[in-house]
Structure 1
């Protein structure tokens, strides 16, 4: 009887241990199943963005135009920009000449229209009063002022020498922009940027799941090359005077 009770106790203990290990393994498996979900949620996005492309561009009417949410308005904006570029760049039209010719055409049409109504015994058309509202101009000036102040603050921070990586990035960007500026005039450059803003974001939004992995690989490679450059070149630059002043 005693041996039977001991065997029953041992079998009971083995069942309890197996149950504990089973629950532990199940909890571990559950945690392991949850980890891939967490990793899947942290997907690399271009430039480290955490918001959709539409919200990155402001999420308003300007974003709708750039991402072709309203195809008529987007096509109209791109068509107007193309017409302006063709007039001033290909046909070598001048801004003052265009304004004068436009005013001549509008005034001539309105004058002939008002004179034609007198021959057919009708009252002349009442021309609308044109006045520029003050509030939109003040808002536009305020936005320009804020952007200029932010740009000045950014340039001041870069020039202070606190962030070497940002300094090199800005210098490289300005150097590339100066080379591009030597190839074409400001109007052509503005038109190229305008066309890129109306073509690259919608294409990226459509194929972002394919572009982001490639961008991640490229970013990793750039970081590796920068680490090599920093180790071989930047770390050999003397920094004694600035550090002594700070300490």
Structure 2
């Protein structure tokens, strides 16, 4: 007959292993959403700081200079560490081998299945975008095409004030600042968004009512 104490200890140990496995899997599934919502302030702070520093560097220097400096800095760190470990091994007369041996033995190649999977996903998005562009520029729906025209007209003013790097810097700042603010004031923000959406939908409905009959029939088709 089995000992109840042994059974309970086995159950608790298996539960502990499951909890540890679930915790590790939870950590591995740290997504972009968690990153921009600052679930882990250290990770979010590092990513935000590095991305902002990179964009500011691109604003001050050329892409070639920034990439060259980054690779040069990385090489300086790895070469210095390699020389340091070689000197330490020579002084201590140890035989630890190459300091980056564990990293060198890792497989950094991209499996063909993974590559094909990402290519298929990208191809799906590209085809969807091409279909949408065809629908808008060939004026399948006059209202939607007019919306695009208004957005492009506004973007001409944005482009006259900001360049591409400045827009990316602002987008990076907004990406890491807006989600926490929205999460704290979700009710009030959703209320004002609903009001704005209602006003826009009413305006679009009034414009659609004033369209000529031929355009209405074309839209209905």
Q: Same fold (TM over 0.5)?
A: yes
* TM tier, smaller: 0.5 to 0.7
The offset of 1:183, in angstroms, is 2.9
2:110 to 111, 116, 134: 134
**Residue number in structure 2 paired with 1:19:** none
Question: Is the 2:143–2:208 Cα contact (8 Å) retained in structure 1?
Answer: no
CA RMSD of aligned residues (A): 3.3
1:86 partnered with 2:59: no
**Residue number in structure 2 paired with 1:34:** none
**Residue number in structure 2 paired with 1:67:** 37
**Residue number in structure 1 paired with 2:77:** 106
Residue 104 and residue 90 in structure 1: after superposition, are their counterparts in 2 closer, same or farther (change >3 A)? Answer: same
**Residue number in structure 1 paired with 2:5:** none
Question: Is the 2:52–2:172 Cα contact (8 Å) retained in structure 1?
Answer: no
| Matches for 1:163-202 after TM superposition, within 5 Å | 163-202=141-180
The offset of 1:100, in angstroms, is 3.7
The offset of 1:145, in angstroms, is 2.4
1:144 partnered with 2:156: no
Q: Is the deviation greater in 221-230 or in 195-204?
A: 221-230
Alignment partners' CA distance in 1, 2:184 and 2:45 = 18
Residue 139 and residue 70 in structure 1: after superposition, are their counterparts in 2 closer, same or farther (change >3 A)? Answer: farther
The offset of 1:227, in angstroms, is 4.6
- SS state of the match for residue 125, structure 2? helix
Question: Is the 2:34–2:40 Cα contact (8 Å) retained in structure 1?
Answer: yes
Alignment partners' CA distance in 1, 2:166 and 2:146 = 27
1:95 partnered with 2:66: yes
- SS state of the match for residue 93, structure 2? coil
Alignment partners' CA distance in 2, 1:100 and 1:63 = 29
Give CA deviations for 1:131-155 in whole Å, capped at 9, x if unaligned. Answer: 4231454444333322222211211
Give CA deviations for 1:197-223 in whole Å, capped at 9, x if unaligned. Answer: 222233223222112222222233333
The offset of 1:105, in angstroms, is 0.8
1:76 partnered with 2:62: no
TM-score norm. by structure 1 comes to 0.59
Stretches of structure 2 that go unaligned for 5 or more consecutive residues are: 1-28
1:125 to 98, 101, 105: 98
**Residue number in structure 2 paired with 1:54:** none
Q: Is the deviation greater in 151-160 or in 93-102?
A: 93-102
**Residue number in structure 1 paired with 2:134:** 156
Residue 110 and residue 98 in structure 1: after superposition, are their counterparts in 2 closer, same or farther (change >3 A)? Answer: same
